[in-house]
Protein backbone atom coordinates (compact mmCIF):
# COMPACT_ATOMS: atom_id res chain seq x y z
CA UNK A 1 0.00 0.00 0.00
CA UNK A 2 1.32 3.43 -0.88
CA UNK A 3 1.79 5.96 1.90
CA UNK A 4 1.03 8.88 -0.40
CA UNK A 5 -0.87 9.41 -3.62
CA UNK A 6 1.02 9.30 -6.91
CA UNK A 7 0.36 11.51 -9.90
CA UNK A 8 -1.47 9.80 -12.73
CA UNK A 9 0.31 12.01 -15.25
CA UNK A 10 3.32 9.66 -15.08
CA UNK A 11 1.25 6.52 -15.59
CA UNK A 12 0.92 4.68 -18.90
CA UNK A 13 -1.85 2.31 -19.90
CA UNK A 14 -1.38 -0.64 -22.27
CA UNK A 15 -4.38 -2.67 -23.41
CA UNK A 16 -4.36 -6.18 -24.88
CA UNK A 17 -7.65 -7.59 -26.22
CA UNK A 18 -8.37 -11.09 -27.47
CA UNK A 19 -9.84 -9.73 -30.70
CA UNK A 20 -6.31 -8.71 -31.78
CA UNK A 21 -4.97 -12.28 -31.65
CA UNK A 22 -5.83 -15.63 -33.22
CA UNK A 23 -5.75 -17.66 -30.00
CA UNK A 24 -4.86 -17.61 -26.31
CA UNK A 25 -1.27 -18.75 -26.93
CA UNK A 26 -0.66 -15.82 -29.29
CA UNK A 27 -2.25 -13.45 -26.75
CA UNK A 28 -0.02 -14.76 -23.95
CA UNK A 29 3.06 -14.53 -26.17
CA UNK A 30 2.27 -10.88 -26.96
CA UNK A 31 1.80 -9.99 -23.28
CA UNK A 32 4.99 -11.81 -22.26
CA UNK A 33 6.93 -10.18 -25.09
CA UNK A 34 5.72 -6.74 -24.03
CA UNK A 35 6.64 -7.42 -20.38
CA UNK A 36 10.10 -8.67 -21.37
CA UNK A 37 10.76 -5.57 -23.47
CA UNK A 38 10.10 -3.15 -20.61
CA UNK A 39 13.14 -1.54 -18.96
CA UNK A 40 14.01 -2.33 -15.34
CA UNK A 41 12.79 1.12 -14.33
CA UNK A 42 9.16 0.32 -15.18
CA UNK A 43 6.92 -0.45 -12.23
CA UNK A 44 3.58 -2.21 -12.74
CA UNK A 45 0.95 -0.38 -10.72
CA UNK A 46 -2.00 -2.58 -11.58
CA UNK A 47 -3.19 -5.34 -13.90
CA UNK A 48 -6.88 -5.47 -14.77
CA UNK A 49 -8.27 -8.61 -16.39
CA UNK A 50 -11.78 -8.81 -17.78
CA UNK A 51 -13.54 -11.79 -19.33
CA UNK A 52 -16.64 -11.00 -21.36
CA UNK A 53 -17.78 -14.56 -22.07
CA UNK A 54 -17.94 -16.09 -25.52
CA UNK A 55 -19.28 -14.64 -28.74
CA UNK A 56 -21.64 -16.33 -31.22
CA UNK A 57 -18.68 -18.10 -32.87
CA UNK A 58 -17.64 -19.62 -29.52
CA UNK A 59 -14.51 -17.49 -29.17
CA UNK A 60 -13.75 -16.15 -25.70
CA UNK A 61 -13.66 -12.38 -25.30
CA UNK A 62 -11.17 -11.03 -22.77
CA UNK A 63 -8.79 -8.17 -22.19
CA UNK A 64 -5.78 -7.30 -20.06
CA UNK A 65 -4.95 -3.75 -19.04
CA UNK A 66 -1.49 -2.88 -17.67
CA UNK A 67 -0.99 0.34 -15.75
CA UNK A 68 2.69 1.20 -15.43
CA UNK A 69 4.96 4.07 -14.51
CA UNK A 70 8.67 4.81 -14.33
CA UNK A 71 10.14 4.19 -10.87
Digit-coded pLDDT (tens) for 8-44: 778 999 999 998 998 889 999 999 999 999 999 999 9
36 lies in a domain? Answer: yes
Instruction: For the beta carbon of residue 16, count every other beta carbon within 10 angstroms.
Output: 17
pTM: 0.77
59 lies in a domain? Answer: yes
Q: What range does the domain containing 64 cover?
A: 10-70
**From CA 49, how far away is CA 15, in angstroms rounded?**
10
2 lies in a domain? Answer: no
1 lies in a domain? Answer: no
As for how many domains the chain has, the answer is 1
Give the closest residue to 6 by CA, choosing from 48, 49, 45: 45
41 lies in a domain? Answer: yes
50 lies in a domain? Answer: yes
Amino acid sequence: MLTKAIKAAGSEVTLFTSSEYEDVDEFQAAVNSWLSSQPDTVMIEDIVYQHGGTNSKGKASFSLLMITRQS
